[in-house]
Every structure is written in C-alpha cells, then in structure tokens.
Structure 1
Amino acid sequence: MKLAIAQINCTVGDLGGNIRKILDYTNRAKDAGAELVITPELALSGYPPEDLLLRNGFRFACEKALADMASEVSGVTLLAGHPHLADGKLYNAASVIRDGKIIATYHKNQLPNDSVFDERRYFEPGSDPCLFELKGIRFGVNICQDIWQGDAVTRARGAGADVLIVLNASPYHMRKQALRHQLVRQHIRETGMPVIYTNLIGAQDELIFDGASFAMNGKGELTHQFDELTETLGLIELQNGTPMRGEVSPPQTLEATVYQALCLGLRDYMGKNGIPGVLLGLSGGVDSALTLAVAVDALGADRVEAVMMPSPFTADISLLDARTMARTLNVRYSELSIQPVFDKFLDTLAKEFPEPPDHNRPDTTEENLQARIRGNLLMALSNKYGSIVLTTGNKSEIAVGYCTLYGDMAGGFAVLKDITKTLVYRLCRYRNTLGNVIPERVINRAPSAELRPGQTDQDSLPPYDVLDGIVEAYMEHNLSLREILGMNYAEADVRRVVHLIRLNEYKRRQSPPGIRITQRGFGKDWRYPITSKYRDEF
C-alpha cells in the first residue's frame, strides 16, 4: 500500500483555509494512489494556537470544522491533527477519518511545558493507545512529544501496532534534525517498529517549522527524507508494513538551512498578517546588509525599501556600500540626513545638559539621540506607507544591550534577533555564493555603530567570537560561570558579559518579535525577571 505525508504550511486560526489545504493534499494523494494521508500536529487549527484555545468560541469552531472536513473525505483514509473537546476537556488530538466518518481518535499523552511549549496550560493529557487498521497493517498513533518522553511508543507497540505514525509540530533550531533521527532510531531499537514522522512546515510569529518529514524501517534505516523548509506531498510505499526505499533529499549546509529559515520566517510573518512591504535602515554595515538580502529574497525587491540616514560620523565608504547594495538588489532607496534634526535636538536640550568643566563632551546620550532620530524617521515612513520596519540588530547586541531603545530597536520584526554576530558573517558569505550582493568591504570592515568619530564595536565589547561563545554557553546551554571559565575564557570577560545579559532584560522585553533559529532565543523560551537580586557567582 501507499501512504502520503502532507507536509503543509497551516495558519493559526484559519480553519477554513487549513481545511481547504488538507483536503487539497488529500485529494492529490488519492490521485497518486495513496490510501492513507497524514497531516502534521494540530493542522486544522494551526500550531501553536496559544490562548485562542481558552476561548469557547474557538473550541467549538474547531469541532465544527473537523466535522465539516470529515464529511468531505471519501475513498481514502485521513489522519488529521486537531484540538478535540470531549466531556468538557480539551485534548491535542489526531483523528482517523474514513468515508465521512471519524473512526478513531488519539489524545496526545505527553504535553510539553518547557522551552517554547506551554501545552499543559490548554490541554489534558491522554493515556490510551490508538490503533487503526488498513490493508491488514495495524498503525499506532503518537503526537510529537510522545516520542521524546514517556512510554506512549511502547504502549502503541504493546497494543499491537505494526507501524508507528507520529504527527509533529516540531519547531526548528540548528541541528534539530539529527536529534530527531537519533531519537526515532532509539525507539526503533526498543520496539522494532518502522516510524513515519510527519512534521509541520511554516512560520508562526517567532517559531519556524522546518518540515523535513521522514520514514525509517524496522532496522532504523532512513528510507525517506523529504525536503526541509518547503511544502511537499511525500509518498511512501509500504510492503508488509515496511517502508520501501524512496526519496531521500540530501542534507544542506547549516548556513543554507538558517538562511532559508530566515526567509521563510519573514515571508510567513508578512503574508499571514497581510503586511504589504518592509523598510529598513541601511547603514553600510554587515547586519543591515544581511537583513536587506533576506528581505529581498523572501519578498521580492518591489516590496522592500532601504533608507540611508547619514550623520557627520557616517563614513564615505558606508554611503558608497549602501548605494551599491541597494542598486544591486534593485530596491527603492533614499537618503535622509539626520544632521539638521540632530542639531535641533541638541539646541532644545542645551539648557538641560550639564556644562563644563567635565561634562561637556558628547556621551552615549548624544549617540542614542542619533539612533532615536533614525528610528523616528523609519516609523514615520512606516505610518505613511503601511510598510513594517525591520530592525537590524543581532543576538550578540541584544544579549548585552548594545542597542538603543526607541532607536535601532524600533520596528515591527527582528529578522536577526537570534543570529549571533559571528553567524551574521557566515550567512553573508553564504548569500554571496548564490550571487554577489553584499559588498566584500562590508564583510571585511571592523563593525561600527558610527555614532562618534573612529568608533568600533570592540571599543565597548569583547571580540565577537568571545562574546558569542559566552552568550551561547550561558544563555543557550545554561552553563554556570565556573563551567564557562573552564572553556578558557577570561574571567573578566565572562563576568562582564553575564552582568550585561542580566542588566539589559528590560530592553529585550521591549524588542519586537524575531525569528528563532537556536535551541534558546530571547523570546518564548527566555523568561528571566527584570527585577532580581540574584547574581551568578558559580
């Protein structure tokens, strides 16, 4: 028999649109000879619906949508993920639909409540296995976290399953696919069951779902690996319950996958929210250059505007490089000098600022004024034309507060929010392998905010390879200061970086949403208090 994986991009709350997509893929699979079609987790509602699930109207709408969808299914078996209201309790469920009827429903056993997940807030856990039979093969059903913890897999095997189907809405982070393969192979070694792993594709706010659905036989051999970061209908031939070898897409480089994830994240955020275009401040630096490249690749040049806002501290080569890149990518480009506005600000504030002997030199106040003027200009253009402002700050800067509230942090979406500075450079070089759009001088120059004469980032921060290593160890891996010092970083650098991470939580709380590509970003899975007397010592 032949089964099909519907690796689809669903939108949270778009019940009608999601049903149409599920039915479209179901009919396409049926036309291709498939007798079973599998959707991702909560495909009907989109994932994660979050507090929509607390609204009775949404719950009942999901129930009606499921019934409506079921009535359209004929000549094929559909296994679809959906919220399920039963006896006053809500479950993360998957139902087997055949010839207009729901013949079985599985309730997810293990509800994740860590990292970016908060499912215990909404759902009740199930406890029973679910089996259904087709062409003499007994299929067991699991949903996502069921295979990461608990004994749902062994329950399915104990109930008599020949093949395990796993519906997933498994968010992407770098190197995640290797973890999935490793976990599934572990369960196969324990049970001997082949596994069909179906995953969601698309972006929802800060989360990326990368698809990359696959199948393994009872020996743990990869028989199918479908494309990542794109919708696909994957067909799998089963013989006596064993998946026969089929399509195996080759793995991509880390840089290629991350770059495509950024494009998908921006494209879906814009498309699913109905935003017509984007604009950003193009400084001639590496961060804004990468942001511009992603925006054009994700949306097309006609939906992107770049604005250069020079001051007396802006280097001539920054202007030249910004103009070159805008011309290369064929985006709308304008230059708005901030000097007249900056002078007016200083005149207005002159009587409030301290006088000589020691306090008459410009400091971060004047630097932040420049950033805030630029933020105001971009937001004015956004208000006038309906485009959203993309901020250009990276994870390294956001971690230690090397950014200005209501200045370069002002905007609607942060493409590089989870991209460290060292990864920014790697992604720029990768993008240029597809076509040279980022001037080499932008990549090779010492990074600078250009807010005072001769300024470079390293005047205020440790070298980025040091900074990024400490941020990753402390923030992403939860290592202690002692453990980080054991990685041969200087104690002064470690204590300084950790201090800055703690000190700048109030800034991050006011930053726009951005795309998560690491196992821990400054978003849903970072919940540190602003007010806290705790200090890391060990």
Structure 2
Amino acid sequence: MSDRFRLTLGQLNPTAGDLTGNVALARDAWQAGRDAGAQMVALPELFLTGHDAQGLSQNPSSQREVVAQLEALAADCADGPALALGAPWGEGGKLHNAYLILQNGKIAQRVLQHAPAARALFDPAPISGPYAVAGLRIGSPIGADGETGDVAETQAETGAELLLIPNAAPHLRGAMERRLNHMVARVIETELPVIHLNMTGGEGETVFDGATFALNPGGKLTLQMPAFDTAFAHVDLERGPEGWRIVESAFAPQPEALERDYRALVEGLRDYVAKTGASKVLVEQAEGNDTALAAAIARDALGAENVRQIDVPLSDNLHAALRDELAALGAEVSTETLTPPLRALMLRALADDAGEMLLTAQNKSAAAMGTVAMSGDFNPVKDLYQTEVQALCDWRSNTVRAWMQGPAPSPTPDTEEARAEDAILRILLKGGGNVDDCVAAGYAPQSAQRIAERIAAAKTRKGPTAPGPRLKAETA
C-alpha cells in the first residue's frame, strides 16, 4: 500500500443546466490530474448540473440524462485517476444531492447529503460512510453537511482518513471566516486532515468565491487557492506514524473585504452576461456614484470595448408633445414624472437595436425609498447601500489589480445626510426596527419618520426589479 497520494482539485465554474459543457470541463480536469500523476480528481458540489439548475434537477427525464452523462464520463475516464463530482441523484423515489466517484469506467461509489440546507430541493439521506480510492479512505460531507459535526464524526468513526468537503459556497460578507471556523471545528473533532473544495463563478444573483483551502490536524493551513479564479491544485498527502497529512502547497493571497465585494460584482456581471449569451452592455451616462461604479464594474468585467455608455438628452419639445398627447387622453403628467420612463424606453430601444444587455444602476437605499429606476437586465449595485457604493468607488479609484480592464470611476463625496439615511435604513430594513428605534439610536425623529413613510409607500408600488449580485444574506 502506497504512503503517498496525489489529489487534483478543480476549483471550476460550471454553468447551470449545461450538462455537455460541464462534462467537458470535468473531462479537462481529469486529464490535468492524469497528466500530474494524480490518483483522484475532485470537483465541487453539484458540478455536473450547476448549482442553480432547479428545473433540471427535478425533471425525471433530466435525471435520466444526468445518469447517462455520468456513465459516459466514467467510460471516457476509465484509464486513469478516479473522478469525483457532485450531481443530483434519484434513488427510491427521492432526489438527493450526491457526490459520485467514477472509477474503472463506472459509477463506483456514491455519497448522499445527509441534511440539506433549509429550502433545498433535495431529500435527506442516512449518513454515508467513507469511500476508498487507491487505498485511501475518504469521507465527504457534502455542502451543508460540513457545517456541523455529525457527518464528519460518523465518517471518521467508520474509517475515514481524510475529509474532502465539496461545496458550492457563495460569497457573502463574513462567509469566509465562518467557513474556516467550521472546517477548523471538523479538524478538531475528527483529528483528520480536511480539504474544503469550493466552486467559483457567477450564476444568476449568486457568486461562488472559490478560495479552496486545506487544513492538517491542529488546524494548520496547508493550501490556499485564489478567491474568484478558476484554478487547479495538485495536492500531495503522505502517510506517517500519525496517519495521513497534507503536504504544504501554494498559498494564494486573499483579498480584503472591499476587494472581495468588488471582485464578486465583477465576476457576477461577467458570468451573467456570458451565461445569458450576451457580450456587450449599455450603461446610461448619468451623474452620481451608482452609474460611475456600475460602469467601472462593467469595464473590469468585460473590457472597455464591450461597454457603451451614453447620455440620453430629452428635449423640451418632446416633453411638451407627450404631455399634450397625454392631456388629450385626460392624464396630467409632470416633466419630472415623464422623464424616467422616457429615458428608460430610449435606452431599451438603443440596447435592443445593438444587441446589448442594458444595465440598471440603482443602489439599495434608493430602491428601498421608492426612487424610480430604469428597468434594465442586470443591476451590478443592487445589494449596496449608497454609502457602500461610495466606499467601493473610492476603493476602485485608488486601486490597481492585474485583472482590472478599465479606467477608475471619479466618485462624488458622500454626505452626512447619506450616512444618516443608510444608518436609519439599516435599522428599519435589517433590524426590523421602527421609528422609535431610530430615535433611540440618536437620529432625528423627522428624518426617521420620512424614511419610514417612503419605505412603506415604495412597498405598495413595488414591481419587478433587475437581478444583481448578492453580497449579503437575505436579512442583511
């Protein structure tokens, strides 16, 4: 029995619903592992279908297609390392979140998620035991199963020598620290080395941040892959008197909080554009930090040559003519009321004519208080309060990174009024507070009442909004 094991980790970016494309990525990863002399190649949770392919997971014919794709992939990868990847798995009339191990031309072993996260599509399953690859017994708590100790401890007690935890964990503020704390806890409980393998890339409003890492017993970090980038890592394990240990490898520097947020917005926009089949975007040329930041994100994501920014001047004659037409129909409309929808119609027509995706640029503060926004296809700043937009504009205007592709924005300074508004909004929106709570926190009663009334009025007329990258949990 060998005392050395090489594991290739694929921190990759699948596309929801694209089984053929995802299989091709898996096959490339397997080839990279084979070339590196690996005994096993591992890919993240739900890699085959992509994490957000809900309809695909639940459709019986699609479930059969999943099995067919897995069997064909196993046959293609028979002569070389084992290949482990996540996929939905139908069994006994139930649908499970599974981790499949392809060996010797077949689906040789499978692990089922024990306790799916709240609101997940999948059914719970009994705790799966470890599986063996080239003499190494591996336990794989899937996704949420790695956040508590039950599955990992059971797998350790039944012979696991390594914990490989495949995940599709999104970028949310503070999530990386929580993730690391969970994995340290698994190491302490089991006294086994742990690898947390994460997905990267954007899918809808979710951005998976990668940042795969590994820990040895005692909690020592032995591998840190980059955040947000697709990457491979060839990880060596050696067996000594105390069991298997991970050999120290590369340590990619990790971005600080503001850079994490900005990078998530860039990756989210890039993949939303690419995965919906577009290549170019249109952004309105307007004053303010929202538009400045949205344009900077778009240029960094797509390249300046794929971003068009235009001003939409509306003449007094056009306003007058439209007001007259509406008046003839019995509707009295002011110029202030008429301008936003007119601009939106013109931008939509220009974008559609050029085959471009139309970006909205409206922050969370403005949306909560009912400010009318253009209806676009995607809103890169949707999950940012106005002061957070300011902070990211300032950061981007003073920062240079190799992955940036466009000029920096020119931010306008924030104001005491904006800071106070955001603080009140956080109390009312995030904390579930009321006007009295705002006053108790030191804010003017008139300001708190005005903002509360605007929030209430906005809720009564709230319509569909453009999607945008999610940076905070739903209650934040």
The alignment's TM-score, normalised by the length of structure 1, stands at: 0.80
Q: Which amino acid aligns with 1:88?
A: G
Kindly state the Cα deviation for residue 204 of structure 1 after the two structures are TM-superposed: 0.7
Aligned with 2:91 (options 82, 86, 92): 86
Which residue pairs with 1:261 in the alignment?
Answer: 264
Question: Equivalent residue of 2:132, what SS?
Answer: strand
Tell whether 2:349 aligns with 1:380: yes
Alpha carbons 2:270, 2:301 under 8 Å: kept: yes
Unaligned runs of 5+ in 2: 401-405
Kindly state the Cα deviation for residue 472 of structure 1 after the two structures are TM-superposed: 3.5
Q: Which amino acid aligns with 1:277?
A: K
Which residue pairs with 1:339 in the alignment?
Answer: 316
Instruction: Describe the shift of the 1:443–1:421 C-alpha distance in structure 2 as closer, same or farther (beyond 3 A).
Output: same
Instruction: Describe the shift of the 1:109–1:500 C-alpha distance in structure 2 as closer, same or farther (beyond 3 A).
Output: farther
Measure the CA separation in 2 of the matches of 1:71 and 1:501: 57
Instruction: Describe the shift of the 1:439–1:181 C-alpha distance in structure 2 as closer, same or farther (beyond 3 A).
Output: closer
Measure the CA separation in 1 of the matches of 2:432 and 2:191: 35
Measure the CA separation in 2 of the matches of 1:479 and 1:132: 50
Alpha carbons 2:396, 2:409 under 8 Å: kept: no
Aligned-pair Cα RMSD in Å: 2.4
Which residue pairs with 1:281 in the alignment?
Answer: 284
Kindly state the Cα deviation for residue 497 of structure 1 after the two structures are TM-superposed: 3.7
Q: Which amino acid aligns with 1:342?
A: H
Which residue pairs with 2:152 in the alignment?
Answer: 153
Larger displacement relative to structure 2 (66-75 or 129-138):
129-138
Which residue pairs with 2:365 in the alignment?
Answer: 396
Tell whether 2:255 aligns with 1:252: yes
Which residue pairs with 1:463 in the alignment?
Answer: 417
Aligned with 1:42 (options 42, 46, 52): 46
Aligned with 2:246 (options 240, 243, 248): 243
Larger displacement relative to structure 2 (301-310 or 147-156):
147-156
Which residue pairs with 1:67 in the alignment?
Answer: 71
Measure the CA separation in 2 of the matches of 1:101 and 1:426: 52
Alpha carbons 1:105, 1:130 under 8 Å: kept: no
Measure the CA separation in 2 of the matches of 1:414 and 1:381: 18
Which residue pairs with 1:185 in the alignment?
Answer: 184
Instruction: Describe the shift of the 1:375–1:521 C-alpha distance in structure 2 as closer, same or farther (beyond 3 A).
Output: farther
Tell whether 2:179 aligns with 1:175: no
Measure the CA separation in 2 of the matches of 1:381 and 1:519: 35
- Show the 5 A alignment for 1:397-436: 397-402=366-371, 404=372, 408-434=373-399
Q: Percent identity?
A: 29
Alpha carbons 1:42, 1:80 under 8 Å: kept: yes
Deviations along 1:288-329, one digit per CA (max 9) or x if unpaired, are 11111111111122222111124xxxxxxxxxxxxxxxxxxx
Measure the CA separation in 1 of the matches of 2:388 and 2:73: 44
Which residue pairs with 2:106 in the alignment?
Answer: 101
Aligned with 2:293 (options 290, 293, 313): 290
Kindly state the Cα deviation for residue 274 of structure 1 after the two structures are TM-superposed: 0.6
Deviations along 1:77-117, one digit per CA (max 9) or x if unpaired, are 1111011111222111001111212221111111112xxxx
Question: Equivalent residue of 1:422, what SS?
Answer: helix
Measure the CA separation in 1 of the matches of 2:319 and 2:38: 66
Kindly state the Cα deviation for residue 466 of structure 1 after the two structures are TM-superposed: 2.4
Instruction: Describe the shift of the 1:343–1:273 C-alpha distance in structure 2 as closer, same or farther (beyond 3 A).
Output: same
Measure the CA separation in 1 of the matches of 2:387 and 2:320: 35
Q: Which amino acid aligns with 1:260?
A: R
Unaligned runs of 5+ in 1: 311-336, 355-361, 447-461, 523-538
Deviations along 1:25-73, one digit per CA (max 9) or x if unpaired, are 1110221222121111100000121233232222111111111111112
The alignment's TM-score, normalised by the length of structure 2, stands at: 0.90
Measure the CA separation in 2 of the matches of 1:197 and 1:129: 18
Q: Which amino acid aligns with 1:368?
A: T
Measure the CA separation in 2 of the matches of 1:173 and 1:143: 19
Measure the CA separation in 1 of the matches of 2:303 and 2:285: 17
Deviations along 1:123-147, one digit per CA (max 9) or x if unpaired, are 2111122312234432101111012
Deviations along 1:131-164, one digit per CA (max 9) or x if unpaired, are 1223443210111101224621222122121211
Instruction: Describe the shift of the 1:66–1:494 C-alpha distance in structure 2 as closer, same or farther (beyond 3 A).
Output: farther
Deviations along 1:182-218, one digit per CA (max 9) or x if unpaired, are 1111222222222110111111111100111111111
Question: Equivalent residue of 2:108, what SS?
Answer: strand
Deviations along 1:483-515, one digit per CA (max 9) or x if unpaired, are 666644445544544454344235554111111
Alpha carbons 1:338, 1:374 under 8 Å: kept: no
Deviations along 1:243-295, one digit per CA (max 9) or x if unpaired, are 12221222212222211111111111111111132112111321111111111
Alpha carbons 2:387, 2:414 under 8 Å: kept: no
Equivalenced residues, count: 461
Q: Which amino acid aligns with 2:305?
A: D
Question: Equivalent residue of 1:233, what SS?
Answer: strand
Kindly state the Cα deviation for residue 8 of structure 1 after the two structures are TM-superposed: 0.5
Question: Equivalent residue of 2:346, what SS?
Answer: helix
Alpha carbons 1:82, 1:93 under 8 Å: kept: yes
Which residue pairs with 1:517 in the alignment?
Answer: 471
Kindly state the Cα deviation for residue 347 of structure 1 after the two structures are TM-superposed: 2.6
Tell whether 2:325 aligns with 1:348: yes
Kindly state the Cα deviation for residue 475 of structure 1 after the two structures are TM-superposed: 3.4
Which residue pairs with 1:526 in the alignment?
Answer: none
Tell whether 2:306 aligns with 1:308: no
Kindly state the Cα deviation for residue 4 of structure 1 after the two structures are TM-superposed: 1.6
Aligned with 1:370 (options 326, 329, 339): 339
Aligned with 1:23 (options 1, 22, 27): 27
